[in-house]
Structures are given as structure tokens and as C-alpha cells.
Structure 1
Amino acid sequence: MCFNFTDWRLTPVDFKSLIAPEHFNLASEISKHVSDKIALRWENESGETKTITYDALNKKANKLANGLTKLGLNKGDRVVVMTTRLIESYVIYLACLKAGIVISPSSELLRAKDLVYRLNHSEAKAVISYYNLIKEFDQITEETPYLQFKIAFGQEVPNWLSMEALMEEESDTFTDADTLKDDFAFLAYTSGTTGQPKGVVHSHGWGYAHLRIAASKWLNISEDDLVWATAAPGWQKWVWSPFLSILGSGATGFVYNGRFQPHKYLQLLQDNKVNVLCCTPTEYRMMAKLDDLSTLDLTPLHTAVSAGEALNREVIDVFKNEFNILIRDGYGQTESTLLIANLNTNVNKLGSMGQPLMPEYIEVVDEDGQPSPVDQVGTIAIKKDFPALFQHYYKNPESTAASYIGDYFLTGDRAFKDVDNYYWFQGRKDDVIISSGYTIGPFEVEDALMKHKAVKECAVVASPDPVRGNVVKACIVLKDGIEGTTELTKELQSFVKNLTAPYKYPRVIEYLEALPKTDSGKIRRVALRPQK
């Protein structure tokens, strides 16, 4: 029988329960579950399967933590990690936390120019990469003065250290670093509208609060559950759910290392009897389009949640009608945790963002940082003393200061709240594009396009898409004498793919004679966005 949401009530969250002890290492939230219980069940496209217990996972992490510290990595050192959906990914993250090493997650889709910025900006002392992802690192031609160690795993790589060799002779016991709750744990990078991505600093204490908000209140995970969160390593959402929320709850995580195929995903849900599912809206949309949903039995699935962007009401209705599963939307940011969610969902409010998990810390504010009246659009804001808020933007005091007004951190997302304190999303205040759950800064795409010999000027905006929510649209002014042909469009798209992560390329290109601008010369992107 499907989970009855009306039986579950959100209990008030005590502020004090979100504050970690002064001396606190986030790894302890996972290692406290050490036992013979299966921590992870892994499967790939070929049908190969593996499992690992909490005890074995912890011992492998201890061996790696010993190897990394003997190599010369110390508490507070930054390490860029590029991996994919593998059991080793969990070992690496847990080992780094144990050793007090700061993890900078990097998606396997990033290119050399993205990576060299992260390496140098973070002052990374090491990089740990899956062997078949090292190509972009090896293509870096710029100086990386802080980088001392390049470590590969999965296969030996010339001129790279072997992670397996580092672990081979090490003890499977390790004393966790004596980290404070405010010590750095993660340095994640997020896209902005201008300039390079910002480094978001999260502490060990942030993870403590995150687990007590998102894992229990939104994902509704119990120790007996098999949980599938589809996010890939390299994104803060992977830290949120597949890593911290699942392992920190003592549940079993299901890991599928394969391409997204709607029918395959549904088959895996059925065959593995998954209890909790966390997907992107794009994945849900594509699964909802299949014709043979009625043949599937997803009875064990009691919780299904969606995050990354707003989910269509139509998709929610398909899953409700076909499987008696109510997909619950959730909203958060790289800078925080899950902030707003549909919990005990009111059917009259389907399509809303839901309600704040901790209403005393979340508000819609006006331009002066004052709470907006009911039904008036403003900016979603978080009180600065919220325990699961980031510390600051790394090496960027200007952006850190600019993101606050009065007592609030401004998310940049626009919404209004109704009389029942349900929030209704209205869009981004800035120009960041969210497509298929990916956050894309227009500057990065514009910078790539401007390197093409045919482009005179360009601006990148979001364009609504029924499957991806939004796609990247490039409005381009070509140099004199050049025509905007279909062949040129394909060339420009390939050109961007080679310079940036492939998901950032413009799926829509429009050629214009001139870009609309303000009197001061700034591009009016609002005039370029398609009207909904």
C-alpha cells in the first residue's frame, strides 16, 4: 500500500537540535552506523552488481584517510574530486571528511578551463579522479601552483598516483581529525550571472543541520529503507542526498551507474523494490510520458521527491493516478539545504513550492529586506543565523556582502506566499538558468560563444521547455557579412560543447541584428526571454 501522507505530520524543529557539538567531524554521522548492514547496492548498465556493508565502507575510508595523510594532505587542505556513480566515490568523500580534508566536488562534465579555475581558486593541493575522467586535467596548460598530487583510481594512469596503492598497506582503523563544527568540509562551486563560479563554503556543522532537516523531514528516510537518489557526484545535490542523507540515516543506498532511460529507471524501481526516490523534474517528466505505466508495480515506493526546479502539475497527476504516489516538490540552494517543501500535501496546493520547513527562518522579502505581504511577489530569503546556511563565498567578500540585506540572505529566487504560507515560485531574480536540474551561468556560455570568429555579440537567456523546464537560448549578433544558417547553428553548438560542460550548450539559437540595451549599455535580457 502506498504511503499515506496525511498520517505523517511535520514535527516542530528545535533550533538547538540543529547545532552540532563544538568539536564535530561530519564523518561520525556515517560511521556511527557501522555494522554488517548493506550500505550501498550498486548496478551498472551491463547488469553487473556490487554491494558494500557499512563496516567495509568505513574500513576502506580509514585506509584511504591513512594513505592521504601519509602522503602529506593535512586537515584544511583542499582536494578537487572528480568521479562518477561508483562505490569508490563514497569511500573518497568519507575518507576526506575523516581526515579533515576539504572536498571540492567537480562534475565529470567539466572541461579543462573549468577545472583549472577551481584548482587555482581553491588552492587545491590534490586532485582525485576516476581514471577515465583525467583527460580534461591532462589538457590543462596553465600553471597550477598549489597542486602537488594527482591521484587516479579504477586503473593505473601514467604520471598519476594510484589511489589503490595508497590504500594497500594501510591500517583499516583511523582516528578522525579533531575538526570544529565551523571548520570547512566542502567547497562547492555555483554558477553566477557574471564572472566565474562562486565557491560556496560549507562546514561540518552545516552537514549536521542538513541531516536533521532534509533527510528526516523531507526525504522521510528510515533505516529500513532502500533509497535511490539519482544525482551524480560533482554536484551539491549528491552531497545532500546520495551521500549524507542516505548514509547519515543508516539506510541502504541504491546506485545506478548508467544512462538515464525512462523505462529502465522505472524497471529498476520495480525490480529493486525501492522505498524512497529522489529525482530531477526532467527525469520525472520523461518517465511520465511513457505509455505502459500501468504494467509496473511500484507499491514499495512510499516517498517520491523532486528538486532542482519546479515540477509540472501534469507530471504530479500522472504519478498520482498511475501509482498512487504523490511526488513532493522541494526547494533549496547550494548555499543552504532543503528550505521549502511539500510535506503533508494539501491537494489544493499542488503546483506550489510547499511551505518552509522552518518558517521562523524563511521569508519573502521586498527590496528593503522587509517581509512582503501575502500574495505580493518578493525574494525568497533566509535569516542569517539559519544553522544550515553557508559560511561565505570563498575569497569573495564582495559577493558575500551583496547577498545579504538586513537580517536576510537573498536567494535570488522570486515567489509569493499565500494566506496558508504556501510559497509559489515566480522565477529567478537574476539571470541564472536552471535546466534539467543543472544551474547554468549565462556568462560561461556567452564567454565561449564570443570566442567563435563569427560572433560579434551575444546574450544567453532561459527558454521554456516542456521536458527540461528551461533550455539555454543564445541570442547572437553575427559579424558583418555572415549569415545565420542551420549549419552555423550546429557549428556554434559544437563549439560551445568543446569549451564548456556539454549541458551548457545553447539548444536554441536566435540571430538578431542588435541586442536590446539600456541607456547605460547593459543588455536587457528580460526583453530576450520568450513570454510564457
Structure 2
Amino acid sequence: MEEKRIKKNPADFSVQPNMTDYESTYDSFEWESVAKEFEGLPSGGLNIAHEAIDRHANGALAEKLALIWLGENGETRTYTFAQMKRESAKFANVLKSLGFEKGERIYTLSTRLPELYIGAMGILKNGSVMCPLFSQFGPEPILQRMQRGDARGLLTTQRLYEKKIAPQMDKLPELRTILLIDAEEDVNEKVLSLPRLMEKASDSFEIVHTEPEDMSLLHFTSGTTGMPKGVIHVHKAIYTHWVTGAYVLDLHRNDIFWCTADPGWVTGTSYGIIAPWLHGVTNIVNEAEFDAERWYEILQKYKVSVWYTAPTAIRRLMRLDIDPLKSYDLSSLRLVQSVGEPLNPEAVVWGVEKLKMPIHDNWWQTETGGIMIANYLCQDVKPGSMGRPLPGIVAAVVQQNEDGTVTEITEPGKEGDLALKPGWPSMFRGYLHNEEKYKKSFVDGWYISGDLAYRDADGYFWFVGRADDIIKTSGHMVGPFEVESALMEHPAVAEVGVIGKPDPLIGQMVKAFVSLKSGYEPTEKLKRELIGFGRKKLGAAVAPKEIEFQENLPKTRSGKIMRRLLKARELGLPEGDTSTLEK
């Protein structure tokens, strides 16, 4: 596809960026220099909750708003850093009184309620490990994750407990205590009222000593058909969260920040909780699900300056007949970042046209713990590119050899495995109870991400696809993302998912599943038009030979189109783990 470049605009620098010169910053950066940004525990250790909340509450930011919570029914609650310190101390005292110890796994299963954010900090203050669960999981994926993670405690609501936990309590014999956010009375000796316990708890707590390499969070991720894997992260991960907050999100103390991701996912904890608070920034939390008008109203009313959202949400906004700058005052908004899956070039251009600023894509994984490659304010944006590596990150496109070695590919435009040199602070430290799988993630001194990419002559990385998504057709290697992005340029197309369908003559046929914008009908005529459009854009060898219209494409709650699910359904194969499927 033709490469487009959006020049950086001097107007973007209304607030002085934290990284004005990428080249010199990248060359001079050392991870250990970040240590000076943190206070450290009085005992000499490092704890996420202390750095995110208590050090601000103990200083000049004590009365600054840390959290603005917007309930789905119109309720608003606010918390200063001082209040967050007291409330999370109470929660930590509740855990201590119940006998929870350092290193024990405590799960959270809740919608985006203030108590979830307070609980996250309280768990970390107690030296315990936070294990987020997504509230829209069904009973089976919840059970799988709690069993695999050795769950000892759970923070949840009455409705979620009754619907998803109570029916399978006998399968969780090691689960000692359940804390109900909204219960006024205890259900039984094991299922307790959190408000009752919080009312009795002291708001003073000495944070348990944790070392930088102590486990802090356990996130779960799934392969295409495998069972969920517990991804281990440590307290030192905040080095990455702080740096990416500064260099990628360009956070400053006077910012109002909104990350739309749910804390049940790694983005919702790394950047919906930790990163903004490390920078002493006010964090917006919206309890309600996606609603375009509500979202624009939040951006306007609360003067959001930095917005971190997902390609799925952006594509939904693109489908609507709303001109945001004519209908809303978004003058405070100065940076929009996107994550979840690669951002199609059309979405970046839409941002320029409708918001008067490009949407900046970035790349990372649950395993990396934080952003690794990004489009920065100080650089031109190449629509469709994931950008360039974070300072302190060595990224490369590599080829794995049969003898177990890895060769770095230096030729611009040549595809290979996207790999990182291990050692960054937020790198996962293991898959819980699966050391063999963890070791296989590293080959010849590189972390192999499982994504295919190429690098251009300017050092920008471009996503091709997951290694197991690549389509081999008539001797060509076709990346689904390239085909999807090309079809997205058609005015009728809202979303696209592309797979390879077995074909006896050409190996695999490129098939596209297309969701249309409102106002367009799924006709045979439009199908032929899209096939012709694809051929004109991509050439006959790469363009889809089949088009199937679907009203909604299967996606994860974090916004990724589930190509492997499209393929399984097309071929009548087992669907594998669907616990992350958007309902």
C-alpha cells in the first residue's frame, strides 16, 4: 500500500512534550535512570501502590483529584490522592485482618466501580497479588482462571457472585474469602460485606515490604486454542509504566486522562490505573459501556486532554454521522492514542479530518506489560505503522533458523518475526505453573512475540499479522491486516476480518468478512464491487476472492477481531477458548 505520512504539527506542542528529540533520547536512555522518579518504601523496597498513591498523598498533590468516577446512571464520585490513600489503607487492613499474606493471589471481578480501583491499591499495599478478571466473563472462564492462579480471595459484587461464583464454589476449595462490594450484611462466614469491614478498618496502614522483583499482578491471556495462561508481572514494571506515560502518552500534572479499557485487561490496569497515577494525573473512569454521545460529552465536560482508547471504539465512532468538533467543544484534547489491535490507516486519517489530530497507534502485549513501540508526538505519524521502539527497548525483525539461532533482518520491507531483547522492567517473569511454555518464548537471546512485521528505512515498524494468521496463497504470503486496511478504504465498509480458506488449487483463498456502515445494504452487487475494489488496491493475487457480510464481527473485549474464530466457524472446527469474546 502507498505510504502516507502525517507531519507533526507545531500546535501539538501546546504543552511541552516529555520527549522532543527521539533520536538523542533513544541513544542516551538507561532504564536505571528511572529509579530517581520514585520515592521507594521507607523499608527500602518498591511498591506500586506507594508510588501511584501514597507519595502524592504525602506531598503537594494530597488534595488533587486522583479519580473522577462517572456512574452509568448519572452518579459522580470523586477521590483525591489523600482520600485514595485512606480508602486503600482501609482495604489493606481488611485483607490483613482476614489473614491474607504477601504473595497470595486476590482476584477482582467487578464492573468499573470505585471500589475496584481502591481494592487494586489495597491488594498491592498488602503485598498480595492482584489478578484482574473481566466482569462479562462467563462462569467457566472465571473458574479456569481462579483455579490456575491459586485464588485465595475475591473482590466482587452481589450480582456477579450469585450468578457466576456461587454455583461453582465447590470447585474452588482453596478460595477462603469473598468480599462483596455492595452487600450490607455478610452472606455467610466466607462471603462477607466489604462496607461493614471497611467501616471498622483503620485508614492508616504500613505498606508491606515488597522488592522490585516481587510478583504484583497476574494477568491471563489465551492462545488460539489453548487454556488461559497466567502472565506474571512484578513491582518494577512501573519503570516502564512511568516512561511510557511520559514519552508515549505525554502525561503532565495538569492533564485529565481517560483510558477507556476495562481493568479486567492489562491495558485497563497498566494505563487505566497505574501509569496516570504514577504521574500524579487525574484519572477519568466511566462505568457505562460504549455510547458515542456519552463519550463525546465526557471529553467535553471534563476537558480530557489525553485519551487512550481502542480501534474498535474508533471504528464505531467512524460509522456514525457525527461531526465531533461541530457538536462538542474538544479544545482541551491534544493527544489520542490507540491500542488493542493494529489501527487501520483510515482511522488515523479520520482523526486528522474529524478531530484535527492524528490517532497515534502503539504496540505491546500482555507479556510485555507496557508499550514497546509507538507513534510519538515529536515524530511524523505514518498511518498504519505501529511506530518506533520506546527508548530502552531493542526491537527487531528476525528470522528463526532451524538450528535454533536467530538472524536479524536488516533489509527494509522484508517480513519476519517481531522480536525484543529481554530485560525491560515490565517484561513478564513467567507463565504461572508453565515454565516450559515460558522458556519457548525466548530464542537465541530474543523474546519472540508471535507477531509478524517489517521495518521500513526510517525505522518504523509495520504489523503484518499473527504468525498463525498468515495466508499462503498461490505462493504468496499475505498478511490479513494489509487486506483489511485496503477494504476499509471503501466508503461502505465499517470493519473487516480476513482469513485464509483452504483451496485445492492455490493452497489458501483470501476470504473477507465485512461489516457495513449504516445506510448500505449487503447485496451481491456490493459484494462484486468490493472484490473489484480489493483487486484494484492489492492486485488479483492478494485481494479477497470471497466476501461474506456479517452485521458484527467477533471481537475480544479489548477490541481485537478474532480471525481464528472466523476461521474456525468457516471450517467447522472447534472454536477453542472463547472466554475473551465480546458479548
Task: Report the TM-score, using the length of structure 2 for normalisation.
Answer: 0.74
Answering whether residue 180 of structure 2 is matched by residue 158 of structure 1, we say no
CA gap of 1:472–1:417, structure 2 versus 1, over 3 A, is closer
Answering whether residue 56 of structure 2 is matched by residue 33 of structure 1, we say yes
| Secondary structure, aligned partner of 1:228 | strand
Please give the residue correspondences for 1:336-485 in structure 2 after superposition, counting only pairs within 5 Å: 336=368, 337-344=370-377, 347=380, 349-358=382-391, 360-368=393-401, 369-373=406-410, 374-430=412-468, 467=494, 470=497
The runs of 5 or more residues in structure 2 that have no matched partner are: 1-9, 471-479, 503-550, 556-560, 577-583
Q: Which moved more, 1:108-117 or 1:301-310?
A: 108-117
| Secondary structure, aligned partner of 2:56 | coil
Q: Structure 1 residue 322: deviation in Å?
A: 2.5
Find the aligned partners of 1:131 and 1:102 in 2 and give their Cα distance: 23
Corresponding residue for residue 130 of structure 1 = 157
Q: Please, which of 275, 298, 318 is the counterpart of residue 288 of structure 1?
A: 318
Find the aligned partners of 2:123 and 2:446 in 1 and give their Cα distance: 32
Corresponding residue for residue 452 of structure 1 = none
Find the aligned partners of 2:458 and 2:15 in 1 and give their Cα distance: 17
CA gap of 1:472–1:349, structure 2 versus 1, over 3 A, is closer
RMSD: 3.2
Q: Is the 8 A contact 2:241 2:271 kept in 1?
A: no
Answering whether residue 131 of structure 2 is matched by residue 104 of structure 1, we say yes
Give deviations 1:324-352, integer Å, cap 9, x for gaps: 12211011110111000000465572221
Find the aligned partners of 1:513 and 1:259 in 2 and give their Cα distance: 33
Q: Which moved more, 1:141-150 or 1:94-103?
A: 141-150
CA gap of 1:40–1:155, structure 2 versus 1, over 3 A, is same
Q: Is the 8 A contact 1:474 1:510 kept in 2?
A: no
Find the aligned partners of 2:113 and 2:46 in 1 and give their Cα distance: 27
Q: Structure 1 residue 267: deviation in Å?
A: 2.1
Q: Structure 1 residue 318: deviation in Å?
A: 1.9
Give deviations 1:263-303, integer Å, cap 9, x for gaps: 22112211221111001011111112332313322110011
Find the aligned partners of 1:399 and 1:69 in 2 and give their Cα distance: 34
Q: Is the 8 A contact 1:215 1:249 kept in 2?
A: yes
Q: Is the 8 A contact 2:12 2:377 kept in 1?
A: no
CA gap of 1:511–1:261, structure 2 versus 1, over 3 A, is closer
Corresponding residue for residue 4 of structure 1 = 13
Q: Is the 8 A contact 1:153 1:163 kept in 2?
A: yes
Answering whether residue 273 of structure 2 is matched by residue 246 of structure 1, we say no
Please give the residue correspondences for 1:297-312 in structure 2 after superposition, counting only pairs within 5 Å: 297-312=329-344
Please give the residue correspondences for 1:61-210 in structure 2 after superposition, counting only pairs within 5 Å: 61-134=88-161, 135-140=163-168, 143-156=171-184, 158-159=187-188, 160-206=191-237, 208-210=238-240
Q: Is the 8 A contact 1:263 1:290 kept in 2?
A: no
| Secondary structure, aligned partner of 2:66 | strand
CA gap of 1:265–1:161, structure 2 versus 1, over 3 A, is same
CA gap of 1:474–1:101, structure 2 versus 1, over 3 A, is farther
Find the aligned partners of 1:473 and 1:165 in 2 and give their Cα distance: 56
Q: Structure 1 residue 467: deviation in Å?
A: 4.5
CA gap of 1:469–1:74, structure 2 versus 1, over 3 A, is farther
Q: Structure 1 residue 158: deviation in Å?
A: 2.7
Q: Structure 1 residue 424: deviation in Å?
A: 0.6
Give deviations 1:469-514, integer Å, cap 9, x for gaps: 6499999xxxxxxxxxxxxxxxxx9xx99xxxxx989986887788
Give the 4+ runs in structure 1 shifted more than 6 A. 471-475, 503-507, 509-515
Give deviations 1:152-206, integer Å, cap 9, x for gaps: 1123463321111222111111000101111100011001123211100000111
1:98 is aligned with what amino acid? Answer: K
Q: Please, which of 256, 262, 271 is the counterpart of residue 226 of structure 1?
A: 256
1:375 is aligned with what amino acid? Answer: G
2:391 is aligned with what amino acid? Answer: M
CA gap of 1:195–1:110, structure 2 versus 1, over 3 A, is same
Find the aligned partners of 2:130 and 2:566 in 1 and give their Cα distance: 35
Find the aligned partners of 1:508 and 1:385 in 2 and give their Cα distance: 36
CA gap of 1:378–1:7, structure 2 versus 1, over 3 A, is farther
| Secondary structure, aligned partner of 1:278 | strand
Q: Is the 8 A contact 1:2 1:324 kept in 2?
A: no
Give deviations 1:410-436, integer Å, cap 9, x for gaps: 11011001111100100001359xxxx
Find the aligned partners of 1:44 and 1:296 in 2 and give their Cα distance: 21
Q: Is the 8 A contact 2:392 2:424 kept in 1?
A: no
Give deviations 1:40-92, integer Å, cap 9, x for gaps: 11112332211111111110100110111110100111111111211111100
Find the aligned partners of 1:167 and 1:514 in 2 and give their Cα distance: 51
Corresponding residue for residue 580 of structure 2 = none
Give deviations 1:10-48, integer Å, cap 9, x for gaps: 434322124687721111111211101111111123322
Find the aligned partners of 1:474 and 1:278 in 2 and give their Cα distance: 35
Q: Which moved more, 1:378-387 or 1:358-367?
A: 358-367
Q: Is the 8 A contact 1:299 1:323 kept in 2?
A: no
Q: Is the 8 A contact 1:106 1:235 kept in 2?
A: yes
CA gap of 1:472–1:72, structure 2 versus 1, over 3 A, is farther
The percent identity for this pair of structures is: 30
CA gap of 1:26–1:510, structure 2 versus 1, over 3 A, is closer
Corresponding residue for residue 451 of structure 1 = none
Find the aligned partners of 1:6 and 1:53 in 2 and give their Cα distance: 24
Q: Is the 8 A contact 1:340 1:354 kept in 2?
A: yes
2:318 is aligned with what amino acid? Answer: A
Find the aligned partners of 1:186 and 1:92 in 2 and give their Cα distance: 13
Find the aligned partners of 2:134 and 2:78 in 1 and give their Cα distance: 24
Corresponding residue for residue 442 of structure 1 = none
Give deviations 1:80-111, integer Å, cap 9, x for gaps: 11112111111000000100010111000112
Answering whether residue 81 of structure 2 is matched by residue 54 of structure 1, we say yes
| Secondary structure, aligned partner of 1:23 | coil
Corresponding residue for residue 450 of structure 1 = none
| Secondary structure, aligned partner of 1:284 | helix
Give deviations 1:207-252, integer Å, cap 9, x for gaps: x222232211111111111111101121111111110011111111
Q: Structure 1 residue 366: deviation in Å?
A: 1.0
Find the aligned partners of 1:139 and 1:308 in 2 and give their Cα distance: 33
Corresponding residue for residue 265 of structure 1 = 295
1:138 is aligned with what amino acid? Answer: A
Q: Is the 8 A contact 1:67 1:170 kept in 2?
A: yes
CA gap of 1:420–1:234, structure 2 versus 1, over 3 A, is same
